[in-house]
Amino acid sequence: MIPLKPYHGSTRKLVVAMDIGTTYSGVAYSILDPGERPKIQGITRFPSGQENAAGDSKIPSIIYYRGDGTVHSVGAEAAAPGMDLVAEDDDLVFVEWFKLHLRPSTLDSDEIRQSELPPLPEGKNVLDVFADFMRYLFYCTERYISETHANGVSLWASVKEHIDFVLSHPNGWEGLQQNKMRQAAVMAGLVPDTAGGHARIHFITEGEASLHFCIRGGLASDVIVDGENVMIVDAGGGTVDISSYSFLSTGPLSVEEIAPADCIMQGSTRINVRAERFLKEHLEDSAYGNEEDIKAMLDHFDKSTKLIFKDGNDQSYIKFGSMGCNDPRVKIRRGQLVLSGAEMESFYKPSLDAIVDAVQGQRQSASKPVSTVFLVGGFAASPWLFGNLQRMLQSLGLSLFRPDNHTNKAVAEGGVSSYLEQFVSVRVIKTTYGIEFNRDYNKRDAAHLARSSAKVVRPSGCVVIPGAFSAILTKV
């Protein structure tokens, strides 16, 4: 593990990294004292619901709203036992997967349709929901630091006006999404709506944050040698982000991106969507094909069946209802729906194939050869995904590795690391940047002749064609 350098600032400050994921979210932080080596720490205790779950570094990305639009409960509190009954009694509105509403249209595909996304509450837009969730994470951060550090309350008081935030986002998100996240941070009260406040918000792609985590966590220690190249596959709930890097030098550590970062909408939520489609079709003529039973099945599928599935030769089981629930025609016995290995694999295989295709595309576009791949993110914990991806990549001459545990905290901790020390010195842009200008009209140019109706005569007498594009930075 590479030690962090002492902090050279003149005053104490705090850096907080928020990883707001489609299904789970986490926070990491570091208190920076002049002359001291920083320590990266994760929030591992959240209010109500995870008070005793020491070491759990993530909470569900969910919110319950009251009918008047105010927040009832968030994250761990919204997942507390009995909340479904409270929600039913109090007419609460449940929100999940809200991050996907912020995705750029360029990531839309047949795999993700707007109609399949859980709707936002009436009168709420995606920025409102993001702001409410950020406000909760910030509250959790204040509470955790105040309760776990010696003289925590006075410590928080000394840094609360000197906090920089690192917000991570998928590789496929760009300036528009960053601007909206910055607006949400202002709405949440993280920073004031001033130039100085905006400057305290920093962004990093989930792929680059994962690289920092791998380096800091020692996972990449065997490949941190001059000239070695690696690929990071961050498989999360909504997206799978693919990035490739080359280690230019190890003393000091310098890294360059060697391919345009890629992002595909094939995270673990796609497994749930395919499972839901299957259940609705499979149980269409069954007494258990009603909305309530299917909801109960999907809940058990997400929390248990999906997590332990590892072999296409084995059957899987979804529990619901009671022991009296039986329908042999659709393989329901004593409150359990039996799924064959082939049926389970049909939920996963489109994601696996898309990841392999994306890895191959990344490898082909890389400016240097890549032979090592690191798999991180919440979806990386799937034994079926890891085993089959490892097998398929091995056939392509690629070695796949993943951390033994805590893959779900990679982005948050990597975000703090990126703030403290910037390893990546060169990045590959995915878009050509330039400016619009008026080009002098050339009647001998066929393209100009085709647009002659748009020509404009300037006061100087010069004839120009408006709307020309001049590249400032050209994508590779």
The percent of residues in the chain predicted with pLDDT above 70, rounded, is 93
Tokens of 440: 């002098």
Q: Which pLDDT score is estimated for 109?
A: 60
Mean residue pLDDT of the chain comes to: 90
The whole-angstrom separation of Cα 162 and Cα 65 is 31
Q: Which pLDDT score is estimated for 424?
A: 81
Beta-carbon contacts of 41 under 8 Å, excluding residues fewer than 6 positions away, are: 28, 29, 30
With 80 as the cut, is the pLDDT of residue 2 above it? no
* 3-class DSSP assignment, residue 152: helix
Q: Which pLDDT score is estimated for 54?
A: 44
Which range among 130-139, 350-359, 399-408 shows the weakest confidence by mean pLDDT?
399-408
With 90 as the cut, is the pLDDT of residue 14 above it? yes
Contacts by 192-198 with C-beta closer than 8 Å and gap 24+? none
The whole-angstrom separation of Cα 134 and Cα 75 is 11
With 80 as the cut, is the pLDDT of residue 326 above it? yes
Q: Which pLDDT score is estimated for 337?
A: 96
The whole-angstrom separation of Cα 50 and Cα 55 is 10
Mean pLDDT, residues 316-339 = 94
Mean pLDDT, residues 200-227 = 84
Backbone angles phi, psi at 193, to 5 degrees: -85, 65
Q: Which pLDDT score is estimated for 53?
A: 47
| Higher-pLDDT residue of 405, 66 | 66
Mean pLDDT, residues 168-190 = 94
Which range among 104-113, 203-212, 348-357, 426-435 shows the weakest confidence by mean pLDDT?
104-113
Summarised one tens digit per residue, pLDDT across range 186-198 is 999 999 999 999 9
Contact assessment for residue 50 and residue 136, using Cβ atoms and an 8 Å cutoff:
no
Q: Which pLDDT score is estimated for 420?
A: 93
Which range among 33-42, 231-240, 315-324, 420-429 shows the weakest confidence by mean pLDDT?
420-429
Q: Is the pTM of this model over 0.95?
A: no
Contact assessment for residue 235 and residue 210, using Cβ atoms and an 8 Å cutoff:
no
Q: Which pLDDT score is estimated for 241?
A: 94
Backbone angles phi, psi at 64, to 5 degrees: -110, 130
Q: Which pLDDT score is estimated for 433?
A: 79
Phi-psi region of 233 (alpha: psi -120 to 50; beta: other; left: phi over 0): beta
Element (DSSP H or E) covering residue 180: helix 175-187
Summarised one tens digit per residue, pLDDT across range 36-78 is 999 999 998 888 654 444 456 789 999 999 999 999 999 989 9
Tokens of 69: 């639009």
Could you give the residue ranges of the DSSP H alpha helices within 368-409? 383-394
* 3-class DSSP assignment, residue 117: coil
With 80 as the cut, is the pLDDT of residue 165 above it? yes
Cα-Cα-Cα-Cα dihedral sign, residues 190, 194, 200, 205: positive
With 80 as the cut, is the pLDDT of residue 405 above it? no
Could you give the residue ranges of the DSSP H alpha helices within 83-125? 83-90
Tell me the pLDDT band of 450, cut-offs 50, 70 and 90: confident
With 50 as the cut, is the pLDDT of residue 447 above it? yes
Q: Which pLDDT score is estimated for 1?
A: 60
Beta-carbon contacts of 6 under 8 Å, excluding residues fewer than 6 positions away, are: 35, 36, 37
Torsion of CA 223, 2, 416, 175, to 10 degrees: -40
